[in-house]
């Protein structure tokens, strides 16, 4: 797909982050949009901004975990726009918790959105993309679909699953000679609200030596590497060159090279890093407790 002019793109998670940036960038390039998000207020803001850029826009509050709702959205999109050329299965959530203390309902919640949402979106839109004669599927995995990290087992599982699903799909489409291709996206640190909206289990403190609030603050700092707008441009460039995968950000490219170089040995480096971080967190907590105790003592 060399141009997005007059193409129709469906985007999940379009209310904020990369989804919103993709919608705005596609509108600037002459595409028309079918937008969805579970947050209706933020979705409305994105739709208004895209219409102001001249795009024809439909929007739908949508939970991508609801298979029937996703299929209905695909049908409605094709009916409203006359065709669908692209689907960006972008919606995602995160969960930080050690395996031993993970609650099944939290893991199921994450998998239903991050993995099954991608499956639902792909299967729902594939017939319409094929009928368009020029279709493309873009599935969002993660840097954590390349390497694994402690406390991220569920997130890793979902993003590794998206990677495998998308790579298999790409080969199937090529074998079938379909007029549809697909790309797997692996963002590194992208400044979005995914950490702010994430679920962080209280047991994280005992495992890492860092309380949930500090964990969230540090994670937000770590992902502030690539802007969502820059990520959107990199993703669309990948679609235009029909890339099998897109590594978003210099950090993603570095980690990919490291994983290729070290193989499974990268895990020892991660364990060392976490042990160091846990010790640092414990020292910080002890220092804070000492300051509190000294303050209380001076007031008596």
pLDDT tens by residue, 9-23:
999 999 999 999 999
pLDDT tens by residue, 149-208:
989 999 999 999 999 999 999 999 999 999 999 999 999 876 555 545 565 766 666 666
Q: Do the Cβ atoms of 62 and 37 come closer than 8 Å?
A: yes
Q: Which two tokens stand for residue 159?
A: 């993003």
The residue that leads in pLDDT, 132 or 291, is 132
| CB neighbourhood size of 67 (10 A) | 16
Question: Residue 298 has what pLDDT?
Answer: 47
Work out the average pLDDT over 288-297: 42
Question: For the purposes of burial, counting CB atoms within 10 Å of the CB of 243, is it exposed (0-12), middle (13-18) or buried (19 or more)?
Answer: middle
Q: What is the mean pLDDT of the chain?
A: 87
The residue that leads in pLDDT, 288 or 108, is 108
Q: Do the Cβ atoms of 79 and 1 come closer than 8 Å?
A: no
pTM for the structure as a whole = 0.85
Residue 155 designated active-site = yes
185 Cβ contact partners less than 8 Å away, ≥ 6 residues apart: 138, 139, 140, 141, 235, 238, 245, 246, 248
Least-confidence region, from 36-45, 48-57, 189-198, 250-259? 189-198
Question: Residue 122 has what pLDDT?
Answer: 98
pLDDT tens by residue, 49-102:
999 999 999 999 999 999 999 999 999 999 999 999 999 999 999 998 999 999
Q: What is the 3-state secondary structure (H, E, C) of the chain?
A: CCCCCCCEEEECCCCCHHHHHHHHHHHHCCCEEEEEECCHHHHHHHHHHHHHCCCCEEEEECCCCCHHHHHHHHHHHHHHHCCCCEEEECCCCCEECCHHHCCHHHHHHHHHHHCHHHHHHHHHHHHHHHHHCCEEEEEECCHHHCCCCCCCHHHHHHHHHHHHHHHHHHHHHHHHCCCEEEEEEEECCECCCCCCCCEECCCHHHHHCCCHHHHHHHHHHHHCCECHHHHHHHHHHHHHCCCCEEEECHHHHHHHHHHHHHHHHHHHHHHHHHHHHHHHHHHHHHHHHHHHHHHHHHCC
pLDDT bin (cut points 50, 70, 90) of residue 251 is: confident
Least-confidence region, from 30-39, 76-85, 183-192, 280-289? 280-289
Q: Which two tokens stand for residue 135?
A: 């279709």
Work out the average pLDDT over 125-147: 96
Q: Decide if pLDDT at 271 tops 70.
A: yes
Radius of gyration of the chain, Cα coordinates, nearest whole angstrom = 21
Catalytic residue, candidates 128, 155, 266, 274: 155
Q: Decide if pLDDT at 145 tops 80.
A: yes
How far is residue 59's CA from residue 73's CA, in Å, rounded to a whole number? 9
How far is residue 43's CA from residue 143's CA, in Å, rounded to a whole number? 26
Q: Decide if pLDDT at 117 tops 50.
A: yes
Q: Decide if pLDDT at 225 tops 70.
A: no
Q: State which CATH number among 3.40.50.720, 3.30.70.100, 3.30.930.10, 1.10.10.10 fits the domain covering 8-262.
A: 3.40.50.720
């Amino acid at each position: 797909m060399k141009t997005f002019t007059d193409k129709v793109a469906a985007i999940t998670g379009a209310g904020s982050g990369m989804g919103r940036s993709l919608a705005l960038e596609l509108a600037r390039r002459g595409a028309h949009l079918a937008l969805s998000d579970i947050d209706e207020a933020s979705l409305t803001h994105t739709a208004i901004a895209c219409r102001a850029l001249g795009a024809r826009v439909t929007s739908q509050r949508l939970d991508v975990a609801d298979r029937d709702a996703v299929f209905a959205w695909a049908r409605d999109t094709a009916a409203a726009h006359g065709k669908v050329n692209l689907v960006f299965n972008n919606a995602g959530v995160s969960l930080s918790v050690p395996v031993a203390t993970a609650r099944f309902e939290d893991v199921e919640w994450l998998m239903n959105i991050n993995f099954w949402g991608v499956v639902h979106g792909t299967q729902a839109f594939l017939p319409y993309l094929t009928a368009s004669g020029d279709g493309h599927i873009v599935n969002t995995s993660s840097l954590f679909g390349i390497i694994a990290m402690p406390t991220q087992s569920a997130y890793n599982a979902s993003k590794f699953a998206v990677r495998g699903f998308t790579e298999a799909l790409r080969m199937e489409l090529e074998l079938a000679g379909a007029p549809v291709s697909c790309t797997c996206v692996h963002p590194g640190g992208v400044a979005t609200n995914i950490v702010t909206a994430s679920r962080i289990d209280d047991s994280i403190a005992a495992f890492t030596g860092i309380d949930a609030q500090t964990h969230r603050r540090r994670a937000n700092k770590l992902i502030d590497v690539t802007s969502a707008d820059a990520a959107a441009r990199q993703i669309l460039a990948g679609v235009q060159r029909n890339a099998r995968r897109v590594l978003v950000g210099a950090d993603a490219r570095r980690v990919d090279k490291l994983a290729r170089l070290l193989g499974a040995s990268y895990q020892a480096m991660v364990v060392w890093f976490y042990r160091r971080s846990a010790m640092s967190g414990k020292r910080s907590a002890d220092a804070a407790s000492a300051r509190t105790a000294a303050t209380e003592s001076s007031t008596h």
